[in-house]
Amino acid sequence: MGFLENNPELEVVQEGIYKHEDRYSKVFYKRLTVIDGQPIPDYHAVYTQDPTNEDPKDLRFCGVVSDDYKFSGNESLIEGLKTSIGNALFREKHYLNSPYYTSLRSELIISNPQTIRNVGDIHPQVVVENSYNGKRKVLISFGIMVNDGRRETSFSFKDKMITYSQVHIESARTRSTEIGQYVNSFNSNIQTLVSQNLTNILSEDDILSTLDLIEKLGKRKRETISSILQEIRSDSNNISSWQMFLAISRFSTEEKNLNIKSLIENMAERVLIVPTAMMRMTEVGINT
């Protein structure tokens, strides 16, 4: 099967050049050739462009993919999930790695918040990640959005709760069932998740080891998270798992680099206690 047949979302620009355009970005795949003009079998160069840019020559080279690469358009992927969520969709946020436009992270926040005293409103959310240059598979993970009255903090579970990943996902799959199961589990267990983590006091060794891990990404990141932690802690002598989690995930919300954002979220999840009943929800899996 050829590259175009393998990727029906792409359109032909001319022989050996294929294109996809939506509201997030433009991407072009051009079959590689050698000096004499003969094609190199099974490989395509990737070029991207801002969707508002109409200059056909102003393209950015972003890597190479093989004929085995299965393209999944950002807009069709996200719209498929939004259809599954339906009227329960509360808000959506999208982050692109501009100016390359090869990676997208979308946070689909679901309505019906649970209000918890001293914590604020907490919404369930679905996080979608996708790339156009083969660097990342399509990832769908569940998470939470916390609004404490001052700012919003979004976070996605990738370890203690499953992340579904594959190279290509068909939007017609029955994903609504799994989203509904997550929302039901969220509503039943979020109070337990927060209370367990608020009462779980971290030892000094736990705090230092977590901050040391963050410092590997940069000393300023550790200093910033330490500052946020001092701001939100309610007891000068104790730091709970929830306070550490909130400080790290709040910082990740402000991080622009999508790869670093993902690493920081993984660190935040390490300090979080997730109720067993909430983790069981992910055993069902997504039928793809």
Give the Cα separation of 96 and 159 in Å (integer). Answer: 23
For the whole prediction, is pTM greater than 0.75?
yes
DSSP 75-99: HHHHHHHHHHHGGGEEEEEEEE-TT
- Could you report the per-residue pLDDT of 109-131, keeping only the tens digit for each? 999 888 998 899 999 999 999 99
CA torsion, ordered 166, 168, 173, 176, to nearest 10 deg: 60
DSSP 198-246: HH-BPPHHHHHHHHHHHHTT-HHHHHHHHHHHHHH-SBTTB-BHHHHHH
Contact criterion met (CB below 8 Å) for 247 and 129: no
Calculate the average pLDDT of the chain. Answer: 85
- Could you report the per-residue pLDDT of 188-231, keeping only the tens digit for each? 899 999 999 999 999 989 988 999 988 888 888 889 888 888 88
DSSP 236-274: TTB-BHHHHHHHHHHHHHH---HHHHHHHHHHHHHT---
- The pairing of beta strand 138-147 with beta strand 163-166: antiparallel
